[in-house]
C-alpha cells in the first residue's frame, strides 16, 4: 500500500485535527434549520441555564440547542470515531485498504439484528421502553454483527491461513443474505416498525438520546484502549502472519479478539444510528496518507477524523435540504462512493 505521509510532527497533526473537530462541533451546534446566532448557541450551553433553568434566551432556543443539536453532535462524534477506528483495525488486520465493516457484511448483519429487535420485539416497547432503548436493539445488533463476522472469518479461513479475497467475497454473499433478511423484516413489519426500519436502513442521527450517547461513548473509550493496546501487534502483522508468529504473537487469537471487538463497535453504531457506510473505509485510508501505517498513530488520528467527517456529513444532511432532514447515510454514500471507486482503481492491480 502506498502512502504519502506528512512531514509535520505527529503531535502537531493531532492538534490540528483536534482544532478542526472543535470548529466542527461549534458549527454543528450553531447551524440548523432554525436561525440561532453563534453567541446564543454558546449561551444556551452555559451551566447556569442547565442547573437553574433560568436564561435570557427563549425556551424554544434552549430546547433546540440542549435537546436536539447538542445530543446529535455528541452522538456524531462517538459514532464517527467508532466506525473509523473499527475500519482502521480491520484494514490492518486483513492488510487490505478495502476491508471495511460494511464491505465484509458486518454492518448488514448488525442491521439485520437491529431490525429483528425492532420488528419482533417492538411490542415490548410500551412495557419495557428502557429495555428496548438501551438493551435489546444494541444486543441484537451486536449479535448480528458478531455472527456475520464469525461466518465471514470461518469461510475465509482454511488450514493454509486466512484469505482476504475469500473474506471479501464471503462478506458480499453474507451481506446479500442479510439484505434478504432485512427484506423479510420489512415485509412483516407494521406501519411504525416499517417507518423505523426505513430510517435505520438509510442511517440517521436524528434520534440521538442521552442513553445512546452514554452507551456509544463508553464503547468508544473501552475500544480505544483495547485497540491501542494491540497497535504494535497490528504493526507486526503488516509484515505478514508468519513474521508476526515468529515475533511471538498469537495471530489467530489476535484476529479473533479484534474481530469480535470490531463487531461490538459496529453493532453499537448500527443500533444507535443505523447503516452509515464509508466512514470506516475512507477515514483510515486518509489517516494513513497523513501519518503513515503505524497503528499507534493511525488509531487516534482515525478516531478524530472519523468524528470530524461524520459531523460534516451530518451538517450537510440537515442544511442542504432544510427544513427537511436528509438521512446522513445518503450523504456519506455520495461522498464515499467516488472515493471507493478511486481506491478500487488504485488497487485493481493487486486484486487481479
Contact 270, 114 (CB under 8 A): yes
Give phi and psi for 10, each to the nearest 5: -60, -35
Cβ atoms of 221 and 143 within 8 Å: the answer is: no
pLDDT at 231: 93
Instruction: Specify the pTM.
Output: 0.84
Stated length of the chain: 352
- What distance in Å separates the CA atoms of residue 102 and residue 30, rounded to the nearest whole number? 31
Q: Where are the alpha helices (DSSP H) in the chain?
A: 10-30, 38-43, 47-51, 59-63, 70-94, 106-120, 129-131, 137-156, 164-188, 191-202, 210-229, 231-237, 241-246, 251-273, 279-291, 295-317, 328-351
Q: Is the dihedral of CA 115, 179, 97, 343 positive or negative?
A: negative
Taking the C-alpha atoms of residue 325 and residue 340, their distance in angstroms, rounded to an integer, is 25
Name the phi and psi angles at 127, rounded to 5: -90, -35
- Which residues make Cβ contacts (< 8 Å) with residue 260, sequence separation at least 6? 146, 149
CA 155 from centre of chain: 25
Radius of gyration over every alpha carbon of the chain, rounded to an integer in angstroms = 21
Inter-axis angle of helices 251-273 and 106-120, to 10 degrees? 50
Is the preceding peptide bond at 140 cis, omega within 30 degrees of 0? no
pLDDT tens track, the chain, 352 positions: 444 556 678 888 889 999 999 999 989 988 877 778 888 877 777 766 555 556 677 777 788 888 888 999 999 999 999 999 999 998 888 777 777 776 677 778 888 888 888 787 765 555 555 555 556 777 787 788 878 878 887 887 777 766 667 777 888 888 888 888 888 888 887 777 777 777 777 888 877 888 889 989 999 999 999 999 999 999 998 888 788 888 888 887 888 788 878 878 887 888 788 888 888 888 998 888 888 889 999 999 999 999 999 999 999 988 887 777 888 888 888 888 887 787 777 766 555 5
In sequence order, what are the beta bridge partners of 162?
157
Rounded CA gap, 101 and 301, in Å? 18
Amino acid at each position: 500500500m502506498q502512502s504519502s505521509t506528512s512531514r509535520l510532527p505527529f503531535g502537531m497533526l493531532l492538534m490540528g485535527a483536534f482544532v478542526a473537530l472543535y470548529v466542527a462541533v461549534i458549527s454543528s451546534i450553531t447551524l440548523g434549520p432554525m436561525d440561532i446566532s453563534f453567541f446564543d448557541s454558546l449561551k444556551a450551553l452555559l451551566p447556569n441555564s442547565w442547573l437553574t433553568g433560568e436564561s435570557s434566551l427563549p425556551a424554544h432556543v434552549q430546547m433546540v440547542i440542549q435537546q436536539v443539536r447538542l445530543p446529535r453532535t455528541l452522538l456524531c462524534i462517538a459514532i464517527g470515531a467508532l466506525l473509523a477506528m473499527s475500519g482502521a483495525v480491520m484494514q490492518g488486520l486483513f492488510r487490505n485498504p478495502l476491508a471495511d465493516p460494511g464491505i465484509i457484511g458486518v454492518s448488514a448483519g448488525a442491521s439485520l439484528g437491529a431490525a429483528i429487535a425492532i420488528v419482533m420485539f417492538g411490542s415490548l416497547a410500551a412495557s419495557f421502553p428502557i429495555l428496548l432503548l438501551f438493551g435489546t436493539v444494541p444486543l441484537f445488533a451486536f449479535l448480528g454483527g458478531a455472527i456475520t463476522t464469525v461466518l465471514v472469518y470461518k469461510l475465509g479461513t482454511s488450514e493454509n491461513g486466512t484469505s482476504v479475497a475469500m473474506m471479501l467475497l464471503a462478506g458480499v454473499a453474507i451481506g446479500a443474505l442479510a439484505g434478504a433478511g432485512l427484506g423479510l423484516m420489512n415485509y412483516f413489519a407494521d406501519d411504525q416498525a416499517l417507518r423505523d426500519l426505513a430510517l435505520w436502513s438509510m442511517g440517521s442521527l436524528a434520534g440521538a438520546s442521552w442513553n445512546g450517547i452514554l452507551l456509544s461513548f463508553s464503547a468508544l473509550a473501552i475500544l480505544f484502549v483495547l485497540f491501542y493496546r494491540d497497535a504494535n501487534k497490528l504493526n507486526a502483522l503488516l509484515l505478514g502472519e508468519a513474521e508476526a508468529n515468529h515475533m511471538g504473537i498469537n495471530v489467530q487469537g489476535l484476529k479473533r479478539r479484534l474481530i469480535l471487538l470490531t463487531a461490538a463497535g459496529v453493532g453499537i453504531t448500527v443500533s444507535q444510528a443505523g447503516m452509515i457506510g464509508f466512514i470506516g473505509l475512507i477515514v483510515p485510508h486518509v489517516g494513513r496518507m497523513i501519518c503513515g501505517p503505524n497503528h499507534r498513530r493511525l488509531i487516534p488520528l482515525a478516531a478524530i477524523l472519523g468524528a470530524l467527517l461524520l459531523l460534516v456529513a451530518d451538517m450537510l444532511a440537515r442544511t442542504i435540504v432544510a427544513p427537511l432532514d436528509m438521512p446522513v447515510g445518503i450523504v456519506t454514500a455520495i461522498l464515499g462512493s467516488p472515493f471507493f471507486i478511486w481506491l478500487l482503481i488504485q488497487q485493481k492491480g493487486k486484486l487481479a
